[in-house]
Amino acid sequence: MPKRVAARLFLTAALIFAIHPAGAQTAAPASAGAIAPALMQDLVVANRVLTDLNVIDGFGHVSMRHPTDPNRYLMGRSLAPALVTADDILEYDLDSNPVDAKGRASFLERFIHGEIYKARPDVKAIVHTHSAGIIPFSVSSAPLRPVFHLGAFLAPDVPVFEIRDAAGVSNMLVSTPQIGKALAAKLGDRNVALMRGHGSVVVAATIPMVVFRAHYSNVNAQLQSQALALGGPVNYMQSDESEKTLAVIDQIHGRAWDLWKRAVLEKMAPK
């Protein structure tokens, strides 16, 4: 080997070692920095709003992408969402490694979030629910479809993730990056995906919109179940009606968020 090439190889190896000293691969990722208090408050409030709306309970989670670093996201530690405060919010890289957990446990299913953020640059907020209304549509042959205007975001369709396809016989949890990646692939470019016998994932570009969609997925599912139970054909929204309705929802969904947020902040205020 010519001397100059050998010297260059040595320098490259030395540089790689300097950047990645032995064992550094397992070190915690660096923080992307603190986020604005108002955004942090919205993330905390979203956890409590969704609990108040019976979309999540002791289980389920809400996350948001870091506003200045798309390779980080923020989510509560393993804790019932209604108990989350700003101090419980952890930062993760997109492989779902916590930045500085300080010994606090993470959700087993955090890979849902990391893998969807990897696959969907447009997504800035994610909710994972086990909401009761949507479960029947994850285990039956009836597809979840928009039956009223506030469910228009369910168009054109809602895919159902079958965990058996990704993991065989499992404990039903999205507990590995590989299962999370399969779920993200099933979601594709949609707003909502159901998880067979488990729940749903809901995505959006903002916290208020992801809360809106998580809630109205559940409401739409309840209404659709009732309509189907009445018998006869159901008159679903047409795809062009959904498109027109979505433009209005974009304009007005903040009104619902303001109401839900105010109720939560009143409850959180020191008495």
Q: Is the dihedral of CA 152, 157, 160, 161 positive or negative?
A: negative
d(CA 62, CA 112): 11
Cα 110 versus chain centre, distance:
9
H/E run at residue 6: helix 3-19
Backbone angles phi, psi at 208, to 5 degrees: -55, -40
Active-site option among 109, 162, 243, 266: 109
Q: Which helix (H) or strand (E) holds 64?
A: strand 61-65
Known catalytic residue: 109?
A: yes
Contacts of residue 53, defined as CB under 8 A and 6 or more positions apart, other chains included, come to: 215, 218, 260
Quick one: tokens of 140? Answer: 């039956």
Angle CA 228–60–35, to nearest 5: 130
Q: Produce one character per residue of 167-200: b if its CB has 16 or more CB atoms within 10 Å, e if not.
A: beeeeebbbbbebbbbbbebbeebbbbbbbebbb
Catalytic residue numbers? 109
